[in-house]
Structure 1
């Protein structure tokens, strides 16, 4: 079966391409994605395995950027301001986000040490937390090398798809 990261990469590739539909089947697992273009993009993926229910996830529509005239573009350069989110003074380069809706856990079990703390150095393949979804415990990897500078979710908290969990200062 495909890993969550592989499915995320497939979604990104399909979204950036001109392909409208994509189906992948391997060892009894089937992943189908369909992109509809009506004032935005909606992606749906289905993962089907023998004797298991269908899992469907819908990603929110993505707005296409509007074309600008030369005059609008010049006006923006003159009034250019920083549009970064308020980080509370924390310097970071990357946010590790939740790949799914679920419950956030900082350690593999209640009596174990946490995976990472503020100041911990991580590699791209380092596990930083677990997100439990439908009784499945999904290990979330850092995806970048660097230092954890902020932890944004509380242990046992419900997290949403795309919600920032950690801030990392990359090396």
Structure 2
């Protein structure tokens, strides 16, 4: 529910003369109370409370035997260096929409090369490589939000 819907609901309740209206959806609970105050004017109160999800029991961990394929994949990925996000923000692969991406899979990079931009609080921060090598995989989609320490790229240092 957005703010315009809440505002129109408040106006509707005020015009209807109801003293209290409660509305619950899957994710929020809103209570609107109207009535005279000590000054004799009508006041509206809105309370928006996030609903708590019911706790769900976690399934018991299942022990599985590692397959040769998964062991091989883990062995391959362990030789790569993971470049992680130093900040929270929005990940961009290009300096602007009409420009090419900073790096593509297969590109060779050097220490100090700009790999991407992360926008945080309307500031665009260049993310530079701390290692030299070859880009093996881009782990984040363009224009998507990233968290602190989230893996962004896999680099083969050899």
2:102 aligns to what? 115
Show the 5 A alignment for 1:119-158.
Answer: 119-158=106-145
Q: How does 1:54-93 map to 2 (within 5 A)?
A: 91-92=76-77, 93=80
So what's the TM-score if we normalise by structure 1?
0.48
1:99 paired residue among 86, 98, 113: 86
CA RMSD after TM alignment: 2.4
C-alpha change, 1:155 and 1:123, in structure 2 (3 Å) is same
Report the Cα offset of residue 91 of structure 1. 3.5
Mapped to 1, the partners of 2:90 and 2:71 lie a distance apart of: 25
Task: Tell me the secondary structure at the aligned position of residue 91 of structure 1.
Answer: helix
Unpaired segments ≥5 residues, structure 1: 1-80
Residues 121 and 157 (structure 1), Cα distance of their counterparts in 2 relative to 1, 3 Å cut: same
Q: Could you tell me the TM-score, scaled by structure 2's length?
A: 0.51
Instruction: Tell me, in whole angstroms, the C-alpha distance in 1 between the residues paired with 2:150 and 2:128.
Output: 15
Greater gyration radius = 2
Partner of 1:4: none
Q: CA deviation at 1:165?
A: 0.2
1:88 is displaced (CA, Å) by 5.4
Aligned residues: 88
Q: Which runs of 5+ in 2 are unaligned?
A: 1-65
- Contact 1:118 1:151 (8 Å CA) reproduced: yes
| Poorly superposed stretches of 4+, deviation over 2 Å | 85-93
Alpha carbons 1:129, 1:139 under 8 Å: kept: yes
Deviation for aligned residue 1:142: 1.2
